[in-house]
Amino acid sequence: MDARLQQIMRQIPSMDRLLSLPWVAEYEKRIGRETIKSLISDLLARQREKIIKDPDTAFDAETIAEDARRLIKKRSAPSPAPVVNATGVVIHTNLGRSPLAKEAVDALTAAAASYSTLEYSLEDGARGHRNDHVEWLLKRLTGAEAALAVNNNAAAVILALSALARDKESIISRGELVEIGGSFRIPEIMALSGTKMIEVGTTNRTYLKDYEDAITEECAVLLKVHPSNYRITGFHSAATREELAALAHSRGLILMEDLGSGMLIDMSQAGLSGENDPTVAQSLKAGCDIVTFSGDKLLGGPQVGVIAGRKDIIDKLKKHQLLRALRVDKMTLAAFEATLRLYLRGEENAVPTVEMIFRKKEELLPAARRLARKLKALLKKTKVQRCFIDVVPVSDTVGGGSFPQSELEGFAVALSLPELGSSGRLAERLRMSSAHVIAGAADDKVLFHMRTLRGKDEDRIIEAVAEILCIGKENAPDA
Ligand SMILES: *Cc1c(COP(=O)(O)O)cnc(C)c1O
């Protein structure tokens, strides 16, 4: 190492110096001194690497100490951390999709904390099946002859295609060869399950005849896939489920639909309906032999995937070796069962995702006004000279690839505090505050969308802003 590089390296603060900083003691209680040492050691090693790569990298001891504090603070807190979703995106994939109903959380906790009848029949005193807990509910709620729950919808699609069409052909429209996000790409999923993909039609138009002409002796499945966030509008046509079912059944093939979201109830009241978005029951009734869907999108339950449909087909899937690798864990199963039970009782409004989607803008307006009032009262107690707080109409979204074209009319509270920097900076400080508020943004203001706020979230937003403005709890307004 040359002299200049050595000289630069010496400016990096030492381990001992960092360990002697006053904040270390607080975190030591939570993760221990050895862990703190190893975090600092990794950080210093990364810094040295950076300098070796580019000796002109600017740095100072203070910044390194601050980086160390941030990293150690982050590792000292439980993770994933709860956040306030003020984005107005109801099924926010990065924020964990659907929050669970209280009933589901209770069931999950109970299943986690004790032995249970997960795979045990009390009547026989012998082995039972974990799928039995939810199958009867799924049958009841969808009209399916049989149903099977697995780890997630991606697993449901892979299991179904592996069991039904491995080394055979599956026909799909070019308009449905989509990528769903998070690297779920239909052609790759089909390849992974060992089926040969036969593409028919064009991106915007696929006719029944295209499928018909492609059927060979090797064909096993006609596959229909929900296009998720992708929409073709205008000059567009696709074969209907009824047409595809008639064709499939006349040739001894299976019609399978990957529905994505999996609605158990009609959501047209919230403006959510369309040819692409049938309920599970509608898709089966139209002639699909099996359908697959997620448990944590519009259904509002935990992460599971469901395959529902013809009993002879589901029986085959139940015997497939892959199922062992894709099965649902007991806590998830308990939460899913409790969520389905809410639908069974017609209490789907207790499912948070459903409740938030159905919130009317008339309910959101007074809530937004209340939050704006609280924020104004808070700001009055500070030295902040310029601030902007207003209630604005916004369009919220369902998220999770469901109903991308439908906007849910809502209200948000817009906030800007120019003295604290840009709205991007304010958004960052809200994220990094103890309450972790994730806000929307528009016109250099942060937006708190009311639709996705739950429980004490309004108070958490007030706390976060108070924290940013360094106001103690005792000074925060209560109304
Ligand atoms: C979301 C989605 C998937 C993936 O479902 P996961 O439950 O996330 O595995 C598959 N297909 C479609 C059409 C989807 O919308």
For residue 259, give the 3-state DSSP assignment.
Answer: strand
pLDDT digits (tens, 9 = 90+) for 160-180: 999 999 999 999 999 999 888
Q: Does the C-beta of 226 come closer than 6 Å to ligand 1?
A: yes
Q: How far is the centre of ligand 1, averaged over its atoms, from the C-alpha of 260 (Å)?
A: 5
| Angle, in degrees to the nearest 10, between helices 457-468 and 423-432 | 110
When pLDDT is averaged across residues 49-74 and rounded to a whole number, the result is 91
Q: Whose structure tokens read 């996705």? A: 452
Output the six-digit token pair for 40.
């600092």
Whether 326 is in the pocket of ligand 1, judged by its Cβ within 6 Å, is no
Contacts of 114 (CB under 8 A, 6+ apart): none
pLDDT level of residue 471 (50, 70, 90 thresholds): confident
Which residue is listed with tokens 């799924």? Answer: 138
**Is the CB of 149 inside a 6 Å radius of any atom of ligand 1?**
no
Q: Judge if the beta carbon of residue 186 lies within 6 A of ligand 1.
A: no
Residue nearest to atom 1 of ligand 1 (CA): 260
- In order of 92, 172, 199, the CA distances from 178 in angstroms are 20, 11, 12
Give pLDDT, residue 477: 47
Q: SS3 of 387, please?
A: coil
Q: Is the CB of 401 under 6 A from ligand 1?
A: yes
For 407, other C-beta atoms within 10 Å of its C-beta total: 14
Asked if pLDDT for residue 473 goes beyond 60, the answer is no
Q: Is 153 in the pocket of ligand 1 (CB under 6 A)?
A: yes
Q: What is the pLDDT of residues 116-164, one digit of tens each?
A: 999 999 999 999 999 999 999 999 999 999 999 999 999 999 999 999 9
Least-confidence region, from 279-293, 306-320, 419-433, 459-473: 459-473
Sequence-ordered list of residues with C-beta below 8 angstroms from that of 44, at least 6 positions apart, any chain: 12, 15, 64
Structure tokens at 7: 């000289």
CA 473 – CA 466 distance, rounded (Å): 8
- Counting DSSP H helices and E strands in the chain, the numbers are 19, 15
Query: Is the pLDDT confidence value at 99 over 90?
Result: yes
Per-residue pLDDT band at 427 (split at 50, 70, 90): very high
Evaluate: CB of 180 within 6 angstroms of ligand 1.
yes
Q: Give residue 421's region: left, alpha or beta (phi > 0; psi -120 to 50).
A: left
Question: Whose CA is closest to atom 2 on ligand 1?
Answer: 260
Query: Which pLDDT does position 1 carry in this prediction?
Result: 65
Examine the pLDDT at 430 and tell me if it is beyond 60: yes
Ligand 1 centroid–CA 312 distance in Å is: 24
Q: What is the mean pLDDT of the chain?
A: 93
* Residue 472 pLDDT grade (very low, low, confident, very high; cuts 50, 70, 90): low
More confident residue, 334 or 474: 334
The residue to mutate among 92, 153, 326, having the most atoms of ligand 1 within 8 angstroms of its beta carbon, is 153
Instruction: Output the CA torsion sign for 59, 65, 66, 70.
Output: positive
Residue appearing with tokens 């989509």: 178
Residue nearest to atom 8 of ligand 1 (CA): 153
